[in-house]
């Protein structure tokens, strides 16, 4: 091979090597360097507090970040399912792909209504209601065989689960009503007799039925105690009714 031919081959080899180097450099610039650059990028963590986990997930995905619920806890005033805390915090600088951990609200913690019908006074009942994180609602005085001033009824019932600050209505004894004469129910329609007893605070006692040829059905034939007998609220009146 002549010296001239050798020179031509060397030139071609050099040009080929240079082109190969350029192509490799372009490939590195297009494929490798962006990945390297992204790995070193610092992303500002967005504020996801007050968002639902679904909303937060969408926000973080757009920033190439991940979401994980770390805990759920009671949080007064924050609706159930809303984010109340995150780490890293808002505006923190982190790398792409980092996981943001969040705490999610379960809403207001339910409060248990205490039992106030254990023979305690109104004053003690009010104290227990407030200690339970609740409020005293309507206070009503009603006739009762319990001592005057003792709580004999409540709403909601003991053990009910309610939100903080809910009202608890109380019924307080004002003592038994004075005795009064039993009404005359003989001859009255049975439903009317029941209504009369209820309006007077009396209860229907034992009810017996008896056939009477000359009496219309469902009429009061007898009562015990009889009309005019001394009774008190809560007493029972036994009735015999025609059939």
Question: Which tens digit of pLDDT belongs to each residue from 66-108?
Answer: 999 999 999 988 999 999 999 999 999 999 999 999 999 999 8
Q: Which fold has domain 42-105?
A: Trypsin Inhibitor V; Chain A (3.30.10)
What pLDDT does 16 receive? Answer: 55
The mean of the pLDDT values for the chain is 88
Determine the Cα–Cα distance for residues 56 and 64; give it in Å rounded to an integer: 12
* pLDDT per position as a tens digit, 159-171: 999 988 999 999 9
Domain ranges of the chain: 42-105, 111-173, 180-242
pLDDT at 26 over 80: no
pLDDT at 36 over 60: no
Q: Which fold has domain 180-242?
A: Trypsin Inhibitor V; Chain A (3.30.10)
Asked if the domains 42-105 and 180-242 are classified in one and the same CATH topology, the answer is: yes
Taking CA atoms, 194 is separated from 23, 151, 177, 202, in Å, by 104, 28, 20, 9
What pLDDT does 22 receive? Answer: 59
What pLDDT does 46 receive? Answer: 97
pLDDT at 137 over 60: yes
Which runs of consecutive H residues, i.e. helices, occur in 28-168? Answer: 33-39, 53-62, 122-131
Domain range 111-173, CATH architecture? 2-Layer Sandwich (3.30)
pLDDT at 1 over 80: no
Determine the Cα–Cα distance for residues 210 and 217; give it in Å rounded to an integer: 9
pLDDT at 6 over 80: no
> Looking at the whole model, is its pTM more than 0.85?
no
């Amino acid at each position: 091979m002549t010296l001239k031919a050798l020179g031509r081959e060397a030139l071609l080899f050099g040009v080929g090597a240079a082109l190969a180097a350029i192509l490799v450099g372009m490939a590195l610039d297009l494929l490798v360097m962006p990945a390297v650059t992204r790995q070193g990028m610092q992303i500002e963590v967005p504020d996801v507090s007050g968002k639902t986990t679904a909303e937060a997930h969408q926000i973080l995905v757009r920033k190439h970040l991940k979401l994980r619920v770390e805990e759920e806890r009671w949080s007064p005033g924050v609706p159930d399912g809303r984010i109340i805390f995150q780490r890293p915090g808002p505006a923190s600088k982190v790398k792409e792909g980092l996981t943001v951990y969040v705490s999610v609200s379960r809403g207001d913690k339910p409060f248990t209504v205490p039992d106030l019908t254990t023979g305690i006074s109104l004053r003690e009942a009010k104290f227990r209601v407030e200690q339970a994180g609740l409020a005293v609602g309507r206070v009503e005085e009603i006739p009762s065989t319990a001592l005057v001033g003792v709580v004999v009824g409540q709403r909601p019932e003991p053990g009910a689960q309610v939100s903080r600050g809910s009202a608890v209505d109380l019924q307080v004894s004002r003592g038994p009503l004075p005795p009064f004469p039993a009404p005359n129910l003989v001859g009255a329609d049975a439903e009317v007799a029941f209504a009369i007893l209820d309006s007077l605070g009396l209860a229907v006692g034992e009810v017996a039925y008896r056939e009477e040829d000359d009496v219309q059905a469902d009429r009061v034939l007898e009562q015990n105690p009889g009309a005019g007998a001394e009774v008190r609220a809560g007493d029972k009146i036994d009735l015999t009714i025609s059939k």
